Structure 1
């Protein structure tokens, strides 16, 4: 039985967005750059399945090459650069981009009462739903990564993908 890796690959619109940020450059050893779309699809596959890097299907290229490129992009701050571009695009109102956790109302037995912005509190479910969507990526939900940078890289990647899919609807 043959399994298909085609499930949940990037759409052409998603690739068109990511392609602006990925600058193909020759490696120091003079090799041509790899197919960055396949590498990015491989990273998304790892994020979604939570599989070890060594179990990456060959269709995405050598697992070590995909991992090495993921680490390069993560350490270079590529994911943060993309998040900043999305944030600066104005595509989503500022009120929906960040909801502070202090909007949770206090218990009635609390001596000191603090006011709560009820309209902001109603938006809290958006944050909870976002966390649930992020947890669909097993790599994020189970925190398999050994380094904080890689874990945050996967959180950023999945957040970017959620944001792009939200904007396309």
Structure 2
């Protein structure tokens, strides 16, 4: 089951293209979702991190490349609420207003 899930994410293929040796793609997908919802993947990841840290195999390197960091549209000065106000006349009309 884990190999089937790994295959899907390793190849980037659609679920429907999963090899028949892996069983039904719907079954694999359902199991993946169940494990994600009940926190199984988080527990596995936490245990693997703890083991790697205890063995001294864990090294953290964090790098942020500014070419892939984007600001949210509101950070760029976009209007936050509602529509822009209607354009105002720059000069009042000399024509009297109709009754």
Which band: TM-score by shorter chain?
A: 0.5 to 0.7
User: Which structure has the higher relative contact order (CA within 8 Å, separation 6+)?
Assistant: 1
- Classify the secondary structure of the residue corresponding to 2:47: helix
Taking structure 1 as the reference length, the TM-score comes to: 0.33
Task: Output the TM-score relative to the length of structure 2.
Answer: 0.54
Question: For residues 101 and 48 of structure 1, do their structure 2 counterparts lie closer, same or farther at Cα, with a shift above 3 Å needed?
Answer: closer
Q: Does 1:99 align with 2:61?
A: yes
**Structure 1: gaps spanning 5 or more residues:** 1-38, 105-169
Q: Does the C-alpha gap of structure 1 residues 57 and 93 become closer, same or farther in structure 2, counting only changes over 3 Å?
A: closer
Corresponding position of 2:8: 46
Instruction: Tell me the CA shift for residue 40 of structure 1.
Output: 1.2
Report how far residue 93 of structure 1 moved: 5.0
Out of 28, 31, 40, the position equivalent to 1:78 is: 40
List structure 1 segments (4+ residues) > 2 angstroms apart after TM superposition: 98-102
The structure 2 residue matched to 1:62, chosen from 1, 19, 24, is 24
Larger radius of gyration: 2
Q: Which has the higher helix share?
A: 1
